[in-house]
Amino acid sequence: MKRFVALVIGFVFGLALSWSGMTDPDVLRDGLLFRDSYLFLFFISALLTAFIGLRVLKVLQARAVLTGEPVAWTTVAPERRHVVGSVLFGIGWAVADACPGPIAAQVGQGVFWSFATAAGVVLGVWVFLRRASAGRVPAQGRAGAFGDRVERAAVLAER
């Protein structure tokens, strides 16, 4: 059932990205080149929605749909790995005209270079898992339910 719910959530997310134009490489490129403010207005509205929505969910003591865990978060001071990751993310986004979110939707829409972008994401995950299995990823980078899955995936990647 969890996989079905995850599939529905992913489908709705992909549909929203497509409908809003966030899978169109031209929209992304124009935003990154500061020719059009639509991309940044979209980000600001998403950020405000998440900021307010998560706080409301926390006050209501809501639980995550898929894991049942309480809605909660911790903050950490930015570290070198955050800066390096941000730079790599930005370079990849600028080169590919896509961030990881819309790649699956772009593949579904037939944007031909999105297959190469998807391959890059898979490669990046593989590198992360290799580093995690070698103990080179800080413990806080692997914490929580996602971190447990990363640990299991890293063990499987070694086999």
Among 54, 95, 93, which residue's Cα sits nearest to residue 72? 54
Among 125, 119, 130, which residue's Cα sits nearest to residue 154? 130
Pull the structure tokens for residue 136: 């080179």
Predicted TM-score (pTM) above 0.75:
no
HEC secondary structure over the chain: CHHHHHHHHHHHHHHHHHHHCCCCHHHHHHHHCCCCCHHHHHHHHHHHHHHHHHHHHHHCCCECCCCCCECCCCCCCCCHHHHHHHHHHHHHHHHHCCCHHHHHHHHHHCCCCHHHHHHHHHHHHHHHHHHHHCCCCCHHHHCHHHHHHHHHHHHHHHC
Percentage of the chain exceeding pLDDT 90: 31
Say which range, 42-51, 96-105, 119-128, has the weakest mean pLDDT.
Answer: 96-105
Query: pLDDT at residue 2 above 50?
Result: yes
Overall average pLDDT of the 100-114 stretch: 84
On whether the CB atoms of residues 98 and 114 are closer than 8 A, the answer is yes
Could you tell me the residue ranges of all domains in the chain? 2-158
> What are the tens digits of pLDDT across the range 110-145?
888 889 889 988 998 898 888 888 777 665 554 445
> What are the tens digits of pLDDT across the range 48-61?
999 999 999 999 99
Burial 96-119 (b: 16+ CB within 10 A, else e): bbbebebbbbbbeeebeebeebbe
